[in-house]
Amino acid sequence: MNYELLSYLLKASLVLAILTTAYAWLVKRETFLQVNRWLLWINVAATLLLPVIPLPDLEWVPDAPAQAVAVVLPSKPASPVPKVTKSEPFIAPTPQATTVPSAVLEDSSLSVWDWIGIVYGVVAGLLALKLLIQLGALWRLQHGSTQYETEDGVYLIESDKITSPFSFFNRIFYNPTHHNDDEWAQVWTHECVHAHQLHSIDMLTAEVLKIVFWFNPFAWWHQRLVQETLEFITDRAVLDSGIEKKSYQYHLLRTTLSADKQTFTNNINAPHFNKSFLKERIEMMNKTNSKWMGIGKYFAFVGMLWLCAAFTKPYREEIAAKIVEEVPELKAVMEPKPSPKVVFNDFVLEKSLDKPQKDSVQIAIEPLAKAETDTQKLISATKYVVYEDKTLHWVITPKTTLEDLFAMKQEFKRHSLELEVREMKMDPMQSFLQRVSVISNRPNGGSCAWDEGEDILKPIASHGGYMTIEAGGCGTTDKGNMHPTLKTISEQDEKTANEDFHKNRIEYLIVETNSKTGAGGSRDMRRKSLEYYKEKRGKSSFLNLNENDFLQVAGPHRNDIILLNGKPSTLEEIEKIALKDFYAAIFKDTWEKDKTQRRHYILIFTEN
């Protein structure tokens, strides 16, 4: 491998490792997401440029890192030895052992560094070929699918070959048969953010960086951080557009739990989703905005650039060697004295360790026997399952979640029983169960089924059942005859669900009206938005207040279709609504079923 290339790759890898670790440790969890995106670009630029930019040998930049790099690097090969010319063959009278000159061996075989260079080039070439194949497949998919151009400058690519939607520059690829109206509204908003902010450039750059530094695990980590940051940015933009947080998060959860239907990815590769990544995204969506005091972490990141400069600065000992060569008298001053060798005293075991005695072994075993006895007491990992007299009692309330149902299934599985959820429907706010259908089975064929709830938007009534662990009994129970502990839990959950239903009644109306108008992009405005524009004496291009604090629709939207609390209305009726009665407004653009014409809606909701 070329010495200069090896030196460059090593120094660049060190820079990449330092800056990637600093980013993940210092600023990854901060909500200054656009700043984080630029820091990742700085990471790329510093990795590629610092090792090749001739930095001055500044006194305030330490020498130790550069010396460490020089020690790790192999010595630069000397000038090539002239080739040994082959003389006339000489036949000795008797066989004698001959020594082949090392120069001949080096000239006729590959060194270790040559093999390293070959392996590096082959792997990098294969990864580059894989990227080109993916881009070619993307090009063929685009030209073999139906395309639509939207007013936003985004192209919709429809194909039944697409398993999950994704974007590439200003093109959104999706399968229209895989999404209902609610899901498509979220997919459209999500992928439009990727397209408008050109996230594909970030992903392609991270992919190329990974190809060049494929041997460096920090290059793969950097690509992961880029993808996470872009998803954090997009999630925040989706929520800012007016999409309800719980509904969006629940859709992400269903997407992740599904093995063959994954959405929301901006990678040209296959969908890259896992539960740990989803957990991080939900945590970032629920995280409050970072305080400006956290900006100190970004200065610490800049300090890491100073450290990287220390690794790539000119190696001062090389300069000192040149001075000594010109002025030999300065050798004693310029050449560093060797450090004294550290001698470690040998450890002498003065007394051999005694073998473990019988009593000590018995002491170690006794707690295990006691622990085994304690496990005979059945303790449930979820509050929705209790044990009594070798019977498993269970209940499902309106506040039972997917995680709770999974924990209940695990409790059943502990005793070779099964709890099968045949249907589950949450309310639009993902606050309570609206409908559920379950069946409990045992291996010998016995089963008990239960259905609860209707399509009407209201919390279900709590219902449960029991299954004996050893015998073959099972049954269902209502709140009147269920286990006392589960009855108390049911009453508490039903009370909480009913309170949520009353508190969010307007939000339910918003979700229902949004669903009826179809999928599309939207802009959400709440009372605080109007109060902000009034305080700043500014004007919105959607909705404002007149001098008497009544609503006033902006000029570009005065011909839109108007719905007031889900019912058709007029512009005159809307502009009679006072600010104190106003709750929310949604300005929404949707497509006709044939996607050839758009409809513009104004959805107004009031407190009364």
Segment of 63-67, 146-150, 501-505 carrying the highest mean pLDDT: 501-505
**Res 126: pLDDT:** 94
Using CA atoms, how far apart are residues 583 and 585, in angstroms rounded to an integer?
Answer: 7
pLDDT digits (tens, 9 = 90+) for 24-42: 888 888 878 888 888 889 8
Task: Give residue 255's pLDDT band: very low, low, confident or very high (50, 70, 90).
Answer: low
pLDDT digits (tens, 9 = 90+) for 198-209: 898 999 999 999
| pLDDT higher than 80, residue 307 | no
Judge contact between 529 and 570, C-beta under 8 A: no
pLDDT digits (tens, 9 = 90+) for 79-111: 444 444 444 444 444 444 444 444 444 444 677
Residues 6+ apart with CB under 8 A from 145: 157, 158, 159, 161, 173
| pLDDT higher than 60, residue 230 | yes
Task: Give residue 496's pLDDT band: very low, low, confident or very high (50, 70, 90).
Answer: very high
Higher pLDDT, 64 or 375: 64
**Res 552: pLDDT:** 92
Mean pLDDT of 226-240: 87
Task: Give residue 564's pLDDT band: very low, low, confident or very high (50, 70, 90).
Answer: very high
| pLDDT higher than 90, residue 591 | no
**Res 327: pLDDT:** 53
**Res 524: pLDDT:** 84
Q: Whose CA is closest to 268, among 180, 162, 178, 186?
A: 162
Segment of 170-174, 349-353, 368-372 carrying the highest mean pLDDT: 170-174
For the chain, the average pLDDT equals: 75
Judge contact between 393 and 386, C-beta under 8 A: yes
Higher pLDDT, 450 or 96: 450
| pLDDT higher than 80, residue 310 | no
**Res 322: pLDDT:** 52
**Res 374: pLDDT:** 38
Mean pLDDT of 162-182: 79
**Res 85: pLDDT:** 43
Task: Give residue 60's pLDDT band: very low, low, confident or very high (50, 70, 90).
Answer: very low
Using CA atoms, how far apart are residues 382 and 446, in angstroms rounded to an integer?
Answer: 24
Mean pLDDT of 318-328: 53
pLDDT digits (tens, 9 = 90+) for 373-427: 333 467 788 899 999 888 899 999 999 988 888 889 888 988 888 888 888 888 8
Using CA atoms, how far apart are residues 540 and 545, in angstroms rounded to an integer?
Answer: 10
* Strands 598-606, 561-564: pairing kind: parallel
What angle do helix axes 112-143 and 3-26 make, rounded to 10 degrees?
60
**Res 32: pLDDT:** 82
**Res 267: pLDDT:** 44
Using CA atoms, how far apart are residues 196 and 184, in angstroms rounded to an integer?
Answer: 18
Percentage of residues in the chain with pLDDT exceeding 70? 72
| pLDDT higher than 60, residue 349 | no
**Res 49: pLDDT:** 84
Pick from 180-184, 364-368, 516-520, 600-604: least confident: 364-368
Using CA atoms, how far apart are residues 157 and 195, in angstroms rounded to an integer?
Answer: 13
Task: Give residue 576's pLDDT band: very low, low, confident or very high (50, 70, 90).
Answer: very high
| pLDDT higher than 90, residue 605 | yes
**Res 397: pLDDT:** 93
Q: What are phi and psi of 244, to 5 degrees?
A: -65, 135
**Res 562: pLDDT:** 93
| pLDDT higher than 80, residue 352 | no
How many CA atoms within 13 Å lie on the side-chain side of 137?
11
Using CA atoms, how far apart are residues 430 and 23, in angstroms rounded to an integer?
Answer: 34
Task: Give residue 293's pLDDT band: very low, low, confident or very high (50, 70, 90).
Answer: low
Using CA atoms, how far apart are residues 365 and 579, in angstroms rounded to an integer?
Answer: 74
| pLDDT higher than 60, residue 272 | no
Pick from 83-92, 212-221, 459-468: least confident: 83-92
| C-alpha distance from residue 412 to each of 258, 400, 404, 602 (Å) | 22, 16, 13, 50
Mean pLDDT of 57-85: 47
**Res 388: pLDDT:** 87
Higher pLDDT, 161 or 74: 161
